[in-house]
Amino acid sequence: MTVKVEVKNLTKIFGKHVGRAKELIKQGKTKPEILKETGATVGVDQANFEINDGEIFVIMGLSGSGKSTMVRMINRLIEPTDGSVLIDGENLMKMDKKSLREVRRKKMSMVFQNFGLLPNRTVLENAEYGLEIQGVDKETREKKANIALEQVGITGYNDEYPDQLSGGMQQRVGLARALANDPEILLMDEAFSALDPLNRTDMQDQLLDIQERLHKTIIFISHDLNEALKLGDHIMIMRDGEVVQTGTPEDILTHPANEYVEEFIENVDRSKVLTAGNVMIRPVTINVDKAGPRLTLKRMKNNEVSTAYVVDNKRTLIGIVDANDVIGLVRKDSSDLRSIVKSDVPTAHVDTPINDLMDDISQTGIPFAVVNDDGQLKGIIVRGAVLGALAGNEVSDFE
Amino acid sequence: MNSIPQLPLAHWIDGFVDWLVSFTGFFNGVTNFIGGINNAFQWVFDLIPIWLFIVLVLALTYYVNRDDQRWSLLGFEFFGLLLIWNLDFWRDMTQTLTLVLTSSLIALVIGIPLGILMSKSRIAEIILKPILDFMQTMPAFVYLIPAVALFGIGMVPGIVASVIFAMPPTVRMTNMGIREVPGELIEAADSFGSTEWQKLFKVELPLAKTSLMAGVNQSMMLSLSMVVTASMIGAMGLGTKVYFAVGRNDAGGGFAAGLAVVILAIILDRLTQSLTRDHKRG
């Protein structure tokens, strides 16, 4: 396996008195000591690691751990104070502006937490951006952008504007924009953190899917250990600007380097960490403001379910309907779906830990409806999915 | 009490203005240039028959509001312009319009680049901010004195004084608009390898457009507010009518001309405001 990216002694110090802070760091002083003595904040402290060609490398840490600074030093959006980044053996730090621009255009693209899409451009124009600034002619870049949009699974939205799309869709455009350049390296800064749980799972699956076909080198920033374990070929855990441990997911789970990592893994005590939002699946929903009994019946049949969840135009949960009742309604030739809705559905908030729900779930026959603060239906919890999640399997979506 | 001598501030500034006056050639060139723009606008306005002018204004309004038509505005424009025609202020109105357009154009051409510079450079911001405050708060009358010394009597010194008074909003709003572009979009532009110019024209300016146009709108309104002041040094137009009415204690004539200014102001304001709105979405 060849090394694609090699990071040596990479350091970032924010604030004044950088020179003095640099000396102190070399003497092995800690971050609070340096802050106290010089007023400078150590963002990243002498990081060393290697990333192999074609792997997903997850940099993990809580906020303030320096992971975002780290990824931005890899394409020099943030200028490192010290150290070097070698890409295919070439030192990025020694490059002038022009060659750096060339690397950013051809070799690596970035995907942002809040998508970073230009609101005044359509989906297609956004996806074309990277090619446009390279001076690629319109026909070629449209073709490449379309291919990229297809790869991430959004077609038919070319002329929409970003704010007309959902978060998940917007991030697909962000990913397509990055892929359109056909870069060798993808930098993904908390790319899925702003998405709701179902969309996040979808996007993770899709990223793995894309990776299987394209074999990019992906540097993925995350604060979510479950995400890191799912995506990463290697995981690097950071804390307070320092690299705590680098290894395969297996390594990290079985041989945690220190107490900090141990605590992290303990948190994977799944029933406590996983919330209703993490294990829910997509329900079959009927919009009572739009659908009548016949359509309801057809949808239930298509999805092979005997109960369906009823929501209104705002996706607020109203209750469930039973197939038998719907059939009765059709026989009576009535269209009043509301009359047969059972509103006594067990519900849980998206943020409720599964631990708290366990008893109720095991005793109730019907799946729990998961709602958010506004009472909108986000998903449902079925027993199988809970067990699967606790056993460490990913929740699969049947749709 | 007289132990501290009075600072000869006025004397110094006189000296500075006298020094400036010695660059006659340069200021004559500027005068001719600005006069040329002014005359070109005036020539066009004089060429267009009044009825056609009204039709063109209505058509322009219709076009810029094509997605969200406001019939009351069209009605107002129609009757307002007819009233100006009826009161025999037409030529004065076009002279005022010329003054406003010329000074706004110059304010834009100088102001937008200054705003961009200010948004990019911390030093430029530190230097320009107090100058802009000064330009805007100094009583506009004061500009007339050196303006006459440097540019003579007539439209040009009026335009120069208007530009100085009206430019700050354009500079400020351009600066603010660019600075308010979300950091992630700037990072996105950089991370794909945009050059500084590409970033400016493809990301920053398009996103700053609304704020920038609000600045242009404000500049235009400020230069319109200068017309009476400018008339004191011979800038012709509706301002002259108001100024003369003051001299003759002619309340009726003063209000009539003032009303024409108001009508012109509302039309210009609404037109520039509609330009800021986004027409791409239905």
Per residue in B250-270, pLDDT tens? 999 999 999 999 999 999 999
Of residues B220 and A345, the one with the higher pLDDT is B220
* Model ipTM over 0.85: no
Question: Is A101 within 8 Å of B281 when comparing Cβ atoms?
Answer: no
For residue B199, the chain A residue with the least C-alpha distance is A133
Which H helix or E strand runs over A310?
strand A307-311
Cα–Cα distance measured from residue A56 to residue A215, given in angstroms and rounded to the nearest whole number: 9
Please check the confidence at residue B68 and state whether its pLDDT lies above 80: no
Instruction: Give me B31's structure tokens.
Output: 């005068």
For residue B194, the chain A residue with the least C-alpha distance is A133
Residues of chain B found within 8 Å of residue A119, distances taken between Cβ atoms: 207
For residue B184, the chain A residue with the least C-alpha distance is A116
Are A186 and A216 in contact by the 8 Å Cβ rule? The answer is yes
Tokens 């500084």, residue? B196
Cα–Cα distance measured from residue A41 to residue A32, given in angstroms and rounded to the nearest whole number: 8
- Report CA dihedral (B159, B164, B170, B175) to the nearest 10 degrees: 150
Residues of chain A found within 8 Å of residue B191, distances taken between Cβ atoms: 75, 77, 104, 109-110, 187
- Per-residue model confidence (pLDDT) at position B2: 63
Residue B166 lies in a domain: yes
Question: Is A118 within 8 Å of B191 when comparing Cβ atoms?
Answer: no
Residues of chain B found within 8 Å of residue A161, distances taken between Cβ atoms: 280-281
Average pLDDT of the residues in A5-26: 86
Q: How far apart are the first and last CA of chain B?
A: 72
Instruction: Give me B196's structure tokens.
Output: 């500084």
- Per-residue model confidence (pLDDT) at position A274: 65
For residue A162, the chain B residue with the least C-alpha distance is B281
Q: Comparing A41-50, A119-128, A275-284, B89-98, which segment has the lowest mean pLDDT?
A: A275-284
Residues of chain A found within 8 Å of residue B190, distances taken between Cβ atoms: 77, 104
Q: Which CATH class is domain A276-390?
A: alpha beta
Residue B282 lies in a domain: no
Cα–Cα distance measured from residue B16 to residue B28, given in angstroms and rounded to the nearest whole number: 18
- Ramachandran angles phi, psi of A43, nearest 5°: -80, -50
Cα–Cα distance measured from residue B216 to residue B222, given in angstroms and rounded to the nearest whole number: 10
Question: Is B192 within 8 Å of A133 when comparing Cβ atoms?
Answer: yes
Question: Is B207 within 8 Å of A101 when comparing Cβ atoms?
Answer: no
CATH of domain A3-107+183-268: 3.40.50.300
Domain ranges for chain A, please list them.
3-107+183-268, 276-390
Cα–Cα distance measured from residue A341 to residue A317, given in angstroms and rounded to the nearest whole number: 11
For residue A128, the chain B residue with the least C-alpha distance is B192
Q: Which of A99, A133, A163 to substitute to test the interface with B, most B CBs within 10 Å?
A: A133
Q: What is the DSSP string of A114-157?
A: T----TTS-HHHHHHHHHHTTT--HHHHHHHHHHHHHHTT--S-
Nearest-by-Cβ selection for A133 from B182, B198, B209:
B198
The count of structural domains within chain B is 1
**Distance set, CA A108 to CA A10, A93, A180 (Å):** 19, 15, 11
Cβ count near B202 (within 10 Å): 20
CATH number at residue B175: 1.10.3720.10
Which residues of B fall below an 8 Å CB-CB distance to A? 182, 184-185, 187-188, 190-195, 198, 202-203, 206-207, 209, 278, 280-281
- In the structure, what pLDDT confidence band is assigned to residue A398 with cuts at 50, 70 and 90? very low
Q: What is the largest CA-CA distance in chain A?
A: 84
**Distance set, CA A179 to CA A9, A129, A150, A214, B120 (Å):** 30, 11, 11, 10, 30
pLDDT tens digits along A317-368: 888 888 888 888 888 888 788 888 888 888 888 877 777 777 777 777 778 8
Residue B3 lies in a domain: no
- Taking phi first (over 0 means left), then psi (-120 to 50 degrees means alpha), and beta for anything else, what does residue A320 get? beta
pLDDT tens digits along A64-118: 888 999 999 999 999 999 899 999 989 999 999 999 999 999 999 999 999 999 9
Question: A228: closest CA among A202, A197, A192?
Answer: A192
State the nearest Cα–Cα gap between A171 and chain B, in angstroms. 13
Residue B64 lies in a domain: yes
- Residue type at B134? F
Domain that holds residue B223: 9-276
